[in-house]
Structure 1
Amino acid sequence: MIISSEMGNTSKKRNASSLLNDKEEASFHLLVIRFSAMGDVAMTVPVLQRLVKTYPDLKITVLTKPFFKPIFEEVPGVKIVTANVKQKYKSIFGLFKLANELSSLQLDAVADLHNVLRTKILRLFFFFFGIKSAVIHKGRAEKKELTKLQPKTIRPLKSTHQRYADVFAELNFPVDLNHSVVVNKHPLPQVIKEKLKQPRKWIGIAPFAAHEPKMYPLTQMEKVIARLDETNLYDILLFGGGKNEQEQLEKLAENYTNVFCVIGKLSFKEELQTVSNLDLMLSMDSGNGHLAAIYNVPVITIWGATHPFAGFAPFQQKPEQQILPDLKKHPLLPTSIYGNKQVDGYDEVMKSIEVERVLKVILEVL
C-alpha cells in the first residue's frame, strides 16, 4: 500500500454534524473509494475539489488503483492510498487485510463511490470495525428505463457528479457543485513543447471509445482532422491508449503537418499535464473528455448509442457541445448506458453525424 500527498496538521477530532454546525477546526477523517474506470474516476475529481474547498479542515484519504493516482493528485490536500486489488488484495482475505490496514488510519467514515462487490466487502469489514459508510446509488432502474426500446421515455437523469455529491451529503458534508474552483495549468512536458507552436490553439482529439456503438467512424474523424489541419491555425494532439490505437493514430498523423500522436510518448502524468493546456478536447463518450473537464477545458463530445441524459456528460460542459445523432431518425436512442449493446438497424448511427456539423461546433467553441 502506497500513501502519498499528505495533508497538513489538523486539530482535535469532532464528529461530522458538529463540523457543519460551527466553524471550529476538526479532524474528521473520511475515506473515499473509487477504483475504476478512468472516466468514472475522473468524474470524482470536480466533486472532491469542491468538497475540499467547502470543508478545508476535513481530512480526506482516497483509495484507488495505482494507475489513477495522478488523477487524484489534482485534488489539493488529500492523502492517496493505492492498492492493487487484483494481486496483493485480490481475495476476501486480501480485502480484510486492506480494510484492517486502512482502519489503522483512524477513519471516521467511508464514502463508497464505486459500489461493486469488492467495495461492498470492504464496507462490511468497516462496519465490523465500527466505521460508518455511505454508498453511491447508481439509479439502475432509471437507466434501464431510459435505454429500453419501447415505449421510449427520454428525460435527463441525475448526473454521476451529483450522485457522488449525494454520498457526501449522506455523511453530513453536502457540497454545491456550482461553486467555482480554480484549476491551474501544468508545465508542458518537453516533448510537447518541441512539437507545439505558439501562439496557436491546441486541440486534443480522442477518437476511440471502449465500444464501437459509441465511436465516431475513424474515416469521418480523419476528415475532421484534415479540415482543421489545412487551416494551419491549430496544433492537433491525438490521444488514446494501447498498441493498436497507437499504430492507427501514428499512421494517421504522418499524413498531416500539424498533427501529433501522443500515445507512447508521455507518461500518464505527462498526458494530464498536456491536457491541462489544451484549448479544446474532442472526444467520444469516454474518459478523455472527463479528464479534460477537470481542468475546465472546453469539451465537445460525440454520442452514438449512449446519451448525456444518462448522467455521464463531462462536468459543467454546455449542452450544445454534446453532438447527438438525429433522434427523430433514430427514435430508439439511447440504446445503451455504456455503449456495449448493439441494436439491429442502429449500427451506423454514428455515421449519420456529418463532418460539417462536428467542425461547426469546434469552430464555435474556439
Structure 2
Amino acid sequence: MSSLAHSENKKLGLHRPILKGKVNFPLCLAPMVGLTHVALRESMREYLPADAFTIWPTEMLNSRRIPGEDLEKTPETLRAPTETGLVPQILGNEETEIAESVKRLIEWGAEGIDINMGCPVQKALKHNYGVALMGDPAYAAEVVRMTVKNSSVPVSVKLRAVGSTKEFDELLSFVMGLRNSGASWVCLHPRTAAQKRRGWADWEQIKQLHKAVDFPVIGNGDVQTVEDAVLMLQETGCDMAMAGRGLAARPWMLWQLGEELGLANPLGKENQKAPRTPQEEGAEYGRFLLKFIERCRFYFGEDLALRKVRFYVRTTHVWLDFGNALTGVCAKARTIDEMLIAVAKFFEATVEMCPRTELRQ
C-alpha cells in the first residue's frame, strides 16, 4: 500500500489486495447504465482524497458491440486522458467476442475487466448473460476462464445473491468456481434478481462469503451515506464497499470517508470540511450539479448532455427535499445555458438533503 496505509484504513476494508494492490481506498462507485460515464466519473473524482486510489466503472458494455465500436467516440466508452483505475464492465458469453473486447478495452486503458453476472433485465437474460449465468455455475466459470485467458489485467465478477442465507453453500460453490477459473475478486450485491430494487440487501451473505474465501470480496447494496459504508465494512469485513445511486447523489461521501480515515483532503479542498448537515449537503449537490452539467456538454454535446443530466437528476433527486421540482426545472430547459441558469436559481434557496430514501440501492 502507498502512503495511505493508515491504521484505520486497514480496519475498514482492504484486507486483501485489489487491482494488484493499487487500491488503497475502501469505497467505490457501482456500474450503472446511463450514469457511470466519463462526465460523472470526472466530476466525482474531485471529492476523492489526495493520493487515494479506487476502482472506477463504466456503464455496462456489450461484448457483441465493443469490437465494432469506436471507443474514443462511443458515449459509453469516452474517457478523460487522466483517468486511472478504470475497470469497465462487460456483458458476454462468447469467447471470440470477449477476447476482442478485452483486447480493445486494455488498449483503451482498462486496468481490470469486470464481468456482469448481476444484471436482471430481460434483454440480458434472453442472451444468457447477466444474472442468467448464475443459473449455470459451470458455464459461468467458463465465461471467467475465457476472459482471464484473453486478459493481461485482473478479471472480477459482479454477482447477485442467492435466495437466502440458508442457500449459502450454493453461493459459495458458485464463487469458488469463479475463483478457480481465475477471477481476482468478486462483488456481491446480496439482493436476488427477483427482488431487483425491493427489500433490504442481506449483508450477512457478504460477511459469510468474505470469511469463506481467500480472495477479495466487495460488498454492494443499501449504501446511501458514509455511515452506511463504514457499517458495511465493519459488519461484513468486506474489502471494499460499493455504492450506486447513493454515491452518485452524494459523491462527497468519498471526502467524508477520507475524513473518517484521517486522509488528506481532496486537491483544491485542503482547508475545507466535507459537507455534513442536510443544508450543507443540499448546497453541495447544487454546486456538483452545475459542474456536472458543464462536463456533460463538454463530452457529449448539447442534445445528449441535456438527456444525460435529466437522467441523473431523475435518478438522484429522491434524496433532495422538493427534488421533484428540480426535475421539472431540468425538463423545461431547452439548452444547457438555460439549464445552468435555472439550476443556479433553484439552489439560491436553501435545499436540504435527506440521509436515506426508501428506494433501494
Is TM (by shorter chain) over 0.5?
no
Q: Which has the larger radius of gyration?
A: 1
Q: Which has the higher strand share?
A: 1
Q: If the TM-score is normalised by the length of the shorter chain, which range does it land in? A: under 0.3
- What TM-score do you get using the length of structure 1 for normalisation? 0.26
- What TM-score do you get using the length of structure 2 for normalisation? 0.27
